[in-house]
C-alpha cells in the first residue's frame, strides 16, 4: 500500500557536513568542495535512478551542480551556518519510474516557486537490504534565493520558530495532495494522508521508528532465524514494540470486522421484519375488505359472509316472542274464573286487616 513520508532536514556546518558532499552523495556524482579542497566521488555508488536540477527563471548557471553547491558554500560565513536544506520523500511503489519522476519534478517546481530557490533532486531505488518497495527521493535546496547573478537573501520561513511549523504543515499537505493526484492519474485506488492517526480520528497506535542500527540488526537476525528453520521474530526492543503493535492491529481488525458483520446481520433482520410487517398489514387489509364486501352483498342476516371460527353448523336463533300453544286460552280463562269465585266467598276488601 502507498505510504506517506516527508521529512525536512538541514545540512549544517555545525555537524561537520557540507552541501557539496551531500549533493555528490545523493546524485552519485563527483564534486570538489572548493572551500576546503576535498573531492567527493560517489560515481560508483548504485541505486541512483534519476537526477535533475530545477532553477528559477534566468538562473541557468545553477544547472551546473558543482557551481551551484560551491556557490552555496561560499555564500555562508558562519561556522555553524545552514548551507542547504533537504526534503526526504517516500514515493509510491504503485507508480512506474516515469510517474515517480514526474511526481518529484512537480514537488521540486512547487518548492522553487514557493521560496525562489534552486532545487537538486535525486531519485533512489530501494536498498538491496531493505524493503523492495522503498522508492524514495532526496530533494536538496539552497537556503538563499537564486537569480541570474547568484545567491541572494536567506529564506527564513523555515528557520523562524513562529513560521516554521506552519510552513512545514503546508508543504506536507501539498505533498500529500500531489501524491494522491498521481495515484488517481495512474488509476490506483490507494491514497495517503499527511495527518497522524489521531488527527484523522483513527484509533490505531503508530509504530516506532526503527533507525538504521536496529533495522540492520533485525535484518541480520531474520536471515539467521530463517536459515535455522525458525519463525522470524523481533530481537531489538524497537522491533519487539512494533511486532506487538502489528499483532494488536491484527486483533483490532478482526474485532472491527466482527462488529461490521453484526451490524450487517442486524440490518438484514430489520429488513426482514419490515417485510413481514408489510405482508401482515396487506393480509389484514385484504381480509377486512372481504368482510365488508360480504356484509354488503349478503341476502340473509349478513353473518353468512363472515368466516366461520369453527366447522360446527350455526344454531337457529330463538324467536323473541313466544308462540301461542294449543289450549293455552282455555287454561287462562279457567284460572280467571277461579279467582273471581274465591273473591265472592271472602267478601269485598275494605282495607282493614282481620
CATH number for 162: 3.30.930.30
Whether residues 56 and 172 share a domain: the answer is yes
Other C-beta atoms lying within 10 Å of the C-beta of residue 67:
13
Location of C-alpha cell 532465524: 225
In a domain, 309, yes or no: no
> What does pLDDT average to over the chain?
84
Using DSSP's 3-state secondary structure scheme, residue 338 falls into helix
In a domain, 182, yes or no: yes
Domain end (from 124, 159, 194)? 194
Whether residues 67 and 123 share a domain: the answer is yes
> Residue 321's pLDDT band (boundaries 50, 70, 90)?
very low
Whether residues 240 and 176 share a domain: the answer is no
Longest dimension (CA), the chain: 169
Tally of domains within the chain = 2
In a domain, 341, yes or no: no
Whether residues 53 and 159 share a domain: the answer is yes
Phi-psi region of 100 (alpha: psi -120 to 50; beta: other; left: phi over 0): alpha
Give the dihedral sign, CA 90/91/92/93.
Answer: negative
Query: Each residue of 99-126: pLDDT tens digit?
Result: 999 999 999 999 999 999 999 999 999 8
In a domain, 208, yes or no: no
Location of C-alpha cell 472491527: 256
In a domain, 149, yes or no: yes
In a domain, 252, yes or no: yes
In a domain, 343, yes or no: no
pLDDT at 354: 38
Phi-psi region of 315 (alpha: psi -120 to 50; beta: other; left: phi over 0): beta
Mean pLDDT confidence for 266-276: 81
Whether the per-residue pLDDT at 268 is higher than 70: the answer is yes
Query: Each residue of 294-320: pLDDT tens digit?
Result: 666 555 554 454 455 445 454 444 444
Residue 22 pairs in a beta bridge with none
In a domain, 112, yes or no: yes
pLDDT at 273: 81
pLDDT at 17: 96
**Domain span at residue 230?**
216-274
Of residues 55 and 202, more confidently modeled? 55
Whether the per-residue pLDDT at 61 is higher than 50: the answer is yes
Mean pLDDT confidence for 261-289: 80
Whether residues 19 and 133 share a domain: the answer is yes
Amino acid at each position: 500500500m502507498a505510504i506517506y513520508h516527508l521529512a525536512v532536514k538541514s545540512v549544517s556546518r555545525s555537524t561537520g557536513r557540507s552541501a557539496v558532499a551531500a549533493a555528490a552523495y545523493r546524485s552519485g556524482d563527483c564534486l570538489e568542495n572548493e572551500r576546503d579542497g576535498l573531492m567527493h566521488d560517489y560515481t560508483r555508488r548504485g541505486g541512483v535512478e534519476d537526477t535533475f536540477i530545477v532553477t528559477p527563471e534566468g538562473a541557468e548557471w545553477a544547472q551546473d551542480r558543482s557551481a551551484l553547491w560551491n556557490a552555496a558554500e561560499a555564500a555562508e560565513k558562519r561556522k555553524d551556518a545552514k548551507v542547504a536544506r533537504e526534503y526526504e520523500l517516500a514515493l509510491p511503489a504503485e507508480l512506474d519510474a516515469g510517474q515517480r519522476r514526474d511526481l518529484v519534478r512537480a514537488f521540486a517546481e512547487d518548492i522553487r516557486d514557493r521560496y525562489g530557490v534552486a532545487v537538486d533532486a535525486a531519485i533512489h531505488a530501494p536498498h538491496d537490504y531493505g524493503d523492495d518497495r522503498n522508492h524514495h527521493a532526496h530533494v536538496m535546496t539552497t537556503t538563499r534565493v537564486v537569480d541570474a547573478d547568484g545567491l541572494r537573501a536567506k529564506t527564513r520561513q523555515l528557520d523562524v520558530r513562529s513560521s516554521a511549523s506552519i510552513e512545514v504543515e503546508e508543504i506536507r499537505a501539498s505533498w500529500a495532495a500531489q501524491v494522491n493526484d498521481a495515484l488517481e492519474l495512474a488509476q490506483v485506488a490507494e491514497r495517503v494522508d499527511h495527518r497522524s492517526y489521531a488527527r484523522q480520528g483513527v484509533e490505531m497506535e503508530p509504530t516506532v521508528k526503527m533507525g538504521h542500527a536496529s533495522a540492520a540488526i533485525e535484518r541480520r537476525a531474520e536471515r539467521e532465524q530463517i536459515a535455522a528453520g525458525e519463525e522470524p521474530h523481533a530481537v531489538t526492543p524497537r522491533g519487539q514494540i512494533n511486532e506487538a503493535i502489528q499483532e494488536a492491529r491484527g486483533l483490532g481488525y478482526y474485532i472491527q470486522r466482527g462488529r461490521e458483520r453484526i451490524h450487517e446481520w442486524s440490518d438484514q433482520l430489520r429488513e426482514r421484519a419490515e417485510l413481514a410487517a408489510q405482508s401482515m398489514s396487506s393480509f389484514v387489509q385484504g381480509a377486512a375488505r372481504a368482510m365488508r364486501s360480504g356484509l354488503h352483498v349478503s341476502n340473509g342476516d349478513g353473518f353468512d359472509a363472515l368466516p366461520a371460527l369453527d366447522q360446527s353448523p350455526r344454531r337457529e336463533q330463538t324467536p323473541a316472542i313466544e308462540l301461542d300453544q294449543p289450549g293455552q286460552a282455555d287454561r287462562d280463562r279457567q284460572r280467571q274464573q277461579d279467582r273471581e269465585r274465591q273473591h265472592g266467598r271472602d267478601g269485598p276488601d275494605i282495607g282493614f286487616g282481620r
